[in-house]
Amino acid sequence: MSPRVKLWLKRFIKSGLIAIPVFIISVFGVVEYTSRPEFCKSCHFMEEYYNSWQDSKHGKEGISCLECHYPPGLEATVVSKTRSISQVVSYFTQTQGKPWAEIEDRSCLRTGCHNKQLIEGDELFTGKNPRVIVSFNHRAHLTQLRRGKQLRCVGCHSQIVQGKHITVTESSCFLCHFKDVPEETKTISDCLLCHGAPMETIEVEGI
């Protein structure tokens, strides 16, 4: 091997010893930065979604966007990150459409999140009117077919009302319980399935 080749090889190795760590650190830095909720807000059309997240229980507890929007697992993260690159490109080229996200049940039900919801049985919820109490069982909705369909978390926890982060609306419930209910499945619209018997006298227009 000639002295010139040896010198070139030596310089190449030295450059590699410097460049490779710098590249790895840079990649991890970019991954970390783009995983923060603040990065999502850097696209102007995402600001309203960021604000609704920030005001939600998830935002106040410091649960980042990616903990829900990326399925658990390294492979799923890599795939999602790759997909995100195309979203960034579409933003800068002004070819993006309306923001749309597909959140998988395994993101919601991962350990440490909502996995206990499947085993805790009935839960009581109140809406705008604190006197209206709804009994809800997640297991029955997630593990049994409803009208021949397998329900998913986002089937109810969608974002129909802009600014209300994954809030369940009455219209979400009514869509299944009251819309085009056939006679043979009439019990699905029975109010007592969710609300229970009233604990006090109910008066309507003084009657």
pLDDT at residue 149, rounded to an integer? 80
- If we measure between CA atoms, which residue out of 114, 87, 108, 89 comes closest to residue 98? 87
Q: Are residues 120 and 82 in the same domain?
A: no
Q: How many domains does the chain have?
A: 2
Domain stop point among 71, 102, 133: 102
Domain membership of residue 177 (yes or no) is: yes
Domain boundary among 68, 102, 136: 102
- Can you list the alpha helix ranges (DSSP code H) found in the chain? 3-34, 37-41, 47-54, 57-60, 65-69, 74-92, 105-108, 138-143, 153-156, 170-177, 192-195
Asked if residue 207 belongs to a domain, the reply is no
Q: Are residues 86 and 34 in the same domain?
A: yes
Residue 203 belongs to a domain = no
Note whether 93 and 161 are same-domain residues: no
DSSP code string of 60-106: HTT--HHHHHS-SSHHHHHHHHHHHHHHHHHHHTT---S------HH
Is residue 128 domain-resident?
A: yes
Q: What is the pLDDT of residues 177-199, one digit of tens each?
A: 777 666 655 555 567 677 766 66
Write down which residue in 53, 68, 102 finishes a domain. 102
pLDDT digits (tens, 9 = 90+) for 93-132: 888 777 777 888 888 888 888 877 677 778 887 777 777 7
Looking at the structure, tell me whether residues 89 and 150 fall in a common domain.
Answer: no
Instruction: Report the 10 Å Cβ neighbour count for 138.
Output: 20
Give the integer Cα–Cα distance in Å for 118 and 175. Answer: 22
Both 135 and 92 in a single domain? no
CA atoms within 13 A on the CB side of 25: 6
What CATH number does residue 90 fall under?
Answer: 1.10.3820.10
Write out the residue range of the structural domain in which residue 60 sits: 3-102
Closest by CA to 30, choosing from 75, 76, 84, is 84
- Residue 96 falls within a domain, yes or no? yes
pLDDT by residue (tens digit) across 138-190?
Answer: 888 888 887 778 888 888 887 655 566 777 877 788 877 777 666 655 555 56
Q: Are residues 56 and 13 in the same domain?
A: yes
Claim to verify: residue 95 and residue 136 sit in the same structural domain: no
Whether 108 and 153 have beta carbons less than 8 Å apart is answered as yes
Identify whether residues 79 and 134 lie together within a single domain.
no
List C-alpha distances in Å: 19 to 4, 5, 15, 130, 146. 22, 20, 6, 62, 57
Q: Are residues 142 and 74 in the same domain?
A: no
User: Cβ contacts of residue 194 below 8 Å, gap of 6+?
Assistant: 134, 135, 136, 173, 177
